[in-house]
């Protein structure tokens, strides 16, 4: 019989969280020197990035190289490819750990993740930043806001939110006791994470675990270097073996096996819309086999619009377009990739916007002048290249900046701007996940109809920016674009969601909108049981009006 965890300590009050400040990384700063030193240390060897199942590391399966996107000849590590036996052992380990973990008091689970938050902000900070720069081609700043600040934020805010959820108890009348037992799901949760944010890779498996679930975690092979650091950090924080089991390999094969298991209890996925659709279908196909109806949570793609009104501040608009369109080479799901600008404003900003974008330095992320690193791999580069060539050939498109790729040393794509006269062109509706921004210029008196265009051109509904100083224009846009985005920014760029301020998630083709970093996201991993106790049970069986 499994032993039950016992908490001898009392419940504690989780500290009020604050966003972890990001370091600036000015040239010559101590933090830049520390991270450069860590980069040198990481690149001095080829790391083994193993499966971690029930706390045991293994390199079982065919090995594949992990390389730096901005220097693809540089091998950083090797990952194994799980076969059926490896996946089965990860499922078995999750199921075996479930009894004790689900009975571990929530504050003890939270204490582990609060400790992980401090490790991310302290001991592991430089290694997380360095491996995210190397493996995912992020600049100092982009790596810091993701792998240090946001990783720490997720742990601290999630623990705080969990406390609120577990404090929520029903009313009890005199003589009765009612309570809500917030259980983890019965079975295991499959977490499939994307390459582009170390923070998302950290958040998905640990959110489910914090709420009492055990997890099979399949990270992206493209972020394996930093994700290996996360796994070591979870363990050092005190996560028991078997609670999160990391398996490398084919997402299709791992999900085929995990999602046909009777104890598959839920999927937490972030990645592209097509992959999530295929996973949803897989769950549907297997529905008769499951013990319970699984929870399916997916945050997916975006085609994020910046729409400006004639009253907008041109300088603020230009800055927002440069940052949200081209930081991290447009590989944030929230990146701006289509913009609608009135002719009067376009005439003011066009030249400077184009010159600024042409001047953005593309290259090695460890050089301070670099604004964009490489895109993640050759598949991504070729997909973007095909889109660039297709757009160049369209009479409706004028190339204003960039337009080329360079694959000799790294997977580099020039930051690119097209101007189009066709608001329905593929460049205004499809996600490319690269540094490609398309501008549609409208006449100043067409604000209302341009809002309809923004709403109807793409099936995604993730982030959106409205630039306007005229309040009635803002109100109209908020109303007409109510379902066009899960996060709407006014006079700000559409990237940069922060825990505690803007929780992240979109609707329509952008996902189930369960808002990572909110109570909603945590609650998806709970299954409630109400318990009612009568302290003085009645001995009368007759209807009240007949009873004496």
Binding site for ligand A1AUG (CB under 6 A): 196-197, 332-334, 495-497, 504
Q: Residue 143, Cα to own-chain centre: how many angstroms?
A: 14
| CB closer to ligand NAD, 132 vs 300 | 300
Nearest approach, Cβ of residue 333 and ligand A1AUG (Å): 4
Partner whose binding site includes residue 495, from ligand A1AUG, ligand NAD, none (CB under 5 to 8 Å by kind): ligand A1AUG
Partner whose binding site includes residue 511, from ligand NAD, ligand A1AUG, none (CB under 5 to 8 Å by kind): ligand NAD
Partner whose binding site includes residue 295, from ligand NAD, ligand A1AUG, none (CB under 5 to 8 Å by kind): none
| Through-space distance between the first and last CA atoms of the chain, rounded to whole angstroms | 50
Partner whose binding site includes residue 358, from ligand NAD, ligand A1AUG, none (CB under 5 to 8 Å by kind): none
| CB closer to ligand A1AUG, 196 vs 273 | 196
| CB closer to ligand NAD, 414 vs 431 | 431
Other C-beta atoms closer than 10 Å to the C-beta of 384 total 22
| CB closer to ligand NAD, 184 vs 486 | 486
Q: How far is Cα 526 from Cα 253, in angstroms, rounded to an integer?
A: 27
CB neighbour burial string for 394-415, b if at least 16 within 10 angstroms, e if fewer: eeebeebbbbebeeeebbbbbb
Nearest approach, Cβ of residue 354 and ligand A1AUG (Å): 24
Residues involved in catalysis: 299
Sheet holding 336-342, edge to edge: 397-401, 416-420, 436-442, 336-342, 304-308, 463-467, 487-490
| CB closer to ligand NAD, 126 vs 153 | 153
Q: How far is Cα 42 from Cα 171, in angstroms, rounded to an integer?
A: 55
Binding site for ligand NAD (CB under 6 A): 192-197, 200, 218, 220, 251-252, 255, 270-272, 275, 278-279, 299-302, 333, 431, 433, 462, 504, 506, 510-511
Beta-carbon-side half-sphere exposure of residue 13 (alpha carbons within 13 Å): 2
Q: How far is Cα 364 from Cα 289, in angstroms, rounded to an integer?
A: 49
| CB closer to ligand A1AUG, 77 vs 194 | 194
Q: How far is Cα 208 from Cα 185, in angstroms, rounded to an integer?
A: 9
Nearest approach, Cβ of residue 153 and ligand A1AUG (Å): 10
Nearest approach, Cβ of residue 250 and ligand NAD (Å): 8
Partner whose binding site includes residue 496, from ligand NAD, ligand A1AUG, none (CB under 5 to 8 Å by kind): ligand A1AUG
Partner whose binding site includes residue 497, from ligand NAD, ligand A1AUG, none (CB under 5 to 8 Å by kind): ligand A1AUG
Partner whose binding site includes residue 252, from ligand A1AUG, ligand NAD, none (CB under 5 to 8 Å by kind): ligand NAD
Is the CB of residue 383 less than 8 Å from the CB of residue 411? Answer: no
Nearest approach, Cβ of residue 331 and ligand A1AUG (Å): 8
Collect all residues with Cβ–Cβ distance below 8 Å to 402 and sequence separation of at least 6.
357, 358, 413, 414, 415, 416, 417, 435
| CB closer to ligand A1AUG, 387 vs 497 | 497
Nearest approach, Cβ of residue 497 and ligand A1AUG (Å): 3
Nearest approach, Cβ of residue 488 and ligand A1AUG (Å): 13
Nearest approach, Cβ of residue 240 and ligand NAD (Å): 24
Cα angle value 100/102/106 (rounded, 5°): 115
Q: How far is Cα 306 from Cα 303, in angstroms, rounded to an integer?
A: 10
Q: Which residue has the tokens 């909108």?
A: 513
DSSP codes joined into one string, 71-131: EEEEEEEEEE---HHHHHHHHHHHHHHHHHHHTS-HHHHHHHHHHHHHHHHTTTHHHHHHH
Radius of gyration from C-alpha coordinates of the chain:
25
| CB closer to ligand A1AUG, 156 vs 332 | 332
Q: Looking only at Cα atoms, what is the longest distance across the chain?
A: 93
Residue nearest to ligand NAD (CB): 251
Partner whose binding site includes residue 282, from ligand NAD, ligand A1AUG, none (CB under 5 to 8 Å by kind): none
| Helix, strand and coil percent figures for the chain, each rounded to 5 | 40, 20, 40
């Amino acid at each position: 019989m499994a032993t039950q965890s016992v908490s001898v300590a009392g419940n504690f009050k989780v500290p009020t969280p604050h966003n972890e400040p990001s370091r600036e990384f000015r040239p010559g700063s101590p933090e830049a020197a520390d991270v450069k030193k860590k980069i040198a240390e990481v690149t001095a060897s080829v790391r083994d990035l193993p499966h971690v199942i029930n706390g045991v590391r293994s390199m079982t399966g065919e090995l594949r190289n992990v390389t730096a996107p901005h220097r693809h000849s540089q091998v950083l590590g090797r990952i194994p490819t799980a076969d059926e036996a490896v996946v089965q052992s990860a499922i078995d380990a999750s199921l075996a750990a479930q009894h004790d973990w689900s009975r571990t008091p929530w504050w003890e689970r939270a204490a582990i993740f609060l400790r992980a938050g401090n490790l991310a902000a302290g001991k592991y900070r430089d290694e997380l930043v360095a491996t995210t720069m190397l493996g995912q081609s992020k600049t100092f700043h982009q790596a810091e806001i993701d792998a240090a600040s946001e990783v720490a934020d997720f742990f601290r805010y999630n623990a705080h939110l969990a406390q609120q959820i577990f404090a929520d108890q029903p009313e009890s009348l005199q003589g009765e006791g009612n309570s809500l037992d917030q259980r983890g799901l019965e079975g295991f949760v499959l977490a499939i994470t994307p390459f582009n944010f170390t923070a998302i890779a950290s958040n998905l498996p640990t959110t489910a675990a914090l709420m009492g679930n055990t997890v099979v975690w399949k990270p992206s092979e493209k972020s394996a270097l930093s994700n290996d650091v996360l796994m070591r950090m979870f363990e050092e924080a005190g996560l028991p073996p078997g609670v999160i089991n990391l398996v490398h390999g084919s997402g299709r094969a791992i999900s085929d096996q995990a999602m046909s298991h009777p104890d598959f209890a839920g999927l937490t996925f972030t990645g592209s819309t097509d992959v999530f659709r295929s996973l949803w279908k897989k769950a549907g196909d297997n529905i008769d086999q499951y013990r319970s109806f699984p929870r399916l949570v997916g945050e997916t793609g975006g085609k994020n619009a910046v729409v400006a009104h004639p009253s907008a501040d041109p300088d603020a608009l230009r800055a927002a377009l440069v940052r949200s369109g081209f930081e991290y080479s447009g590989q944030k799901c929230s990146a701006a990739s289509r913009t609608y600008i009135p002719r009067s404003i376009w005439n003011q900003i066009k030249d400077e916007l184009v010159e600024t974008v042409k001047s953005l330095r593309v290259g090695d992320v460890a050089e301070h002048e670099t604004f964009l690193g490489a895109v993640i791999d050759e598949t991504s580069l070729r997909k973007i290249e095909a889109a660039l060539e297709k757009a160049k050939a369209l009479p409706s498109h004028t190339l204003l900046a960039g337009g080329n790729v360079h694959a000799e040393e790294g997977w580099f794509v020039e930051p690119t701007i097209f101007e189009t006269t066709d608001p329905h062109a593929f460049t205004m509706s499809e996600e490319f996940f690269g540094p490609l921004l398309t501008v549609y210029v409208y006449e100043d008196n067409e604000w209302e109809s341009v809002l309809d265009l923004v709403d109807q051109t793409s099936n995604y509904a993730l982030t959106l920016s409205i630039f306007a100083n005229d309040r009635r224009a803002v109100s109209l846009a908020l109303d007409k674009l109510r379902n066009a985005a899960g996060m709407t920014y006014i006079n700000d760029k559409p990237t940069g969601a922060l825990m505690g301020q803007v929780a992240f998630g979109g609707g329509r083709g952008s996902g189930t909108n369960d808002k990572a970093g909110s109570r909603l996201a945590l609650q998806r991993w709970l299954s409630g049981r109400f318990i009612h106790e009568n302290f003085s049970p009645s001995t009368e069986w007759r209807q009240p009006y007949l009873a004496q």
